[in-house]
């Protein structure tokens, strides 16, 4: 479980690479929000970048406040200029008319405000019963549908049980026969089936 301080550090790093989808693809934050990724879905890097931009926009005051120095308005302005517009710090010090120390103090407050908003969006993981965990694992394996070569799987399993076969004085010969069409299945599940059969 990520501590608030670790989450803040991850957030700061993600914002520094806001438009670098490759960097964000396997970022700790991206893995927290989307631990399971399916090929048909947009990449984690793109999704994290979009979520950060949308969350910053959520801090935009609905009505322009009379006090332009209000914490929410200032946090929004600072985050947009610093990370969305990618302005360098010296320019921001001039534009916001503040000292370096005041700027970094305000930046931390803005990041904490954004972090609180993002933590509310973390996926809720209810504690699973042991039976539920088994079912989840079974579904995960069954969902690993891919194009597999049966000959290749059997050959690799034969190597795994070679030592066991030798101990029992058993010789395993494979007759591949004619080439088989590739099938779509769970490679993990098929390997387990063949491993069980040959081991017995």
pLDDT tens by residue, 132-178: 555 555 555 555 566 777 777 777 677 666 766 776 788 888 776 67
Whether pLDDT at 126 is above 50: no
Nearest residue to 37 via CA among 28, 53, 25: 25
Q: 145: how many CB neighbours lie within 10 A of its CB?
A: 11
Q: 190: how many CB neighbours lie within 10 A of its CB?
A: 16
DSSP string spanning 43-99? PHHHHHHHHHHHHHHHTS-SS--S-TT-HHHHHHHHHIIIIIS---HHHHHHHTT--
pLDDT tens by residue, 53-91: 999 999 887 665 545 447 788 889 999 999 999 999 999
Residue 188's pLDDT is what?
Answer: 67
Q: How far is CA 117 from the centre of its chain?
A: 18
Residue 190 contacts residue 149 (beta carbons within 8 Å): no
pLDDT tens by residue, 134-144: 555 555 555 55
């Amino acid at each position: 479980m990520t501590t608030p301080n670790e989450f803040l550090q991850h957030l700061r790093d993600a914002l520094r690479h806001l438009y670098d989808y490759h960097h964000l693809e396997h970022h700790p934050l991206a893995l927290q929000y989307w631990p399971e990724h399916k090929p048909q879905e947009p990449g984690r890097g793109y999704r994290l970048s979009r979520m950060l931009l949308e969350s910053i926009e959520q801090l935009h005051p609905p009505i322009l406040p009379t006090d332009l120095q209000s914490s929410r308005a200032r946090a929004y302005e600072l985050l947009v200029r610093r990370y969305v517009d990618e302005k360098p710090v010296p320019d921001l010090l001039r534009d916001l008319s503040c000292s370096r120390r005041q700027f970094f103090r305000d930046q931390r407050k803005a990041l904490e405000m954004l972090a609180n908003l993002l933590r509310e969006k973390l996926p809720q993981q209810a504690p699973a019963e042991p039976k539920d965990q088994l079912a989840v694992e079974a579904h995960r394996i069954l969902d690993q549908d891919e194009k597999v070569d049966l000959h290749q799987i059997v050959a690799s399993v034969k190597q795994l049980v070679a030592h066991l076969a030798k101990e029992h004085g058993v010789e395993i010969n494979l007759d591949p026969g004619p080439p088989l069409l590739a099938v779509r299945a769970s490679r993990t599940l098929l390997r387990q089936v063949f491993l069980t059969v040959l081991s017995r």
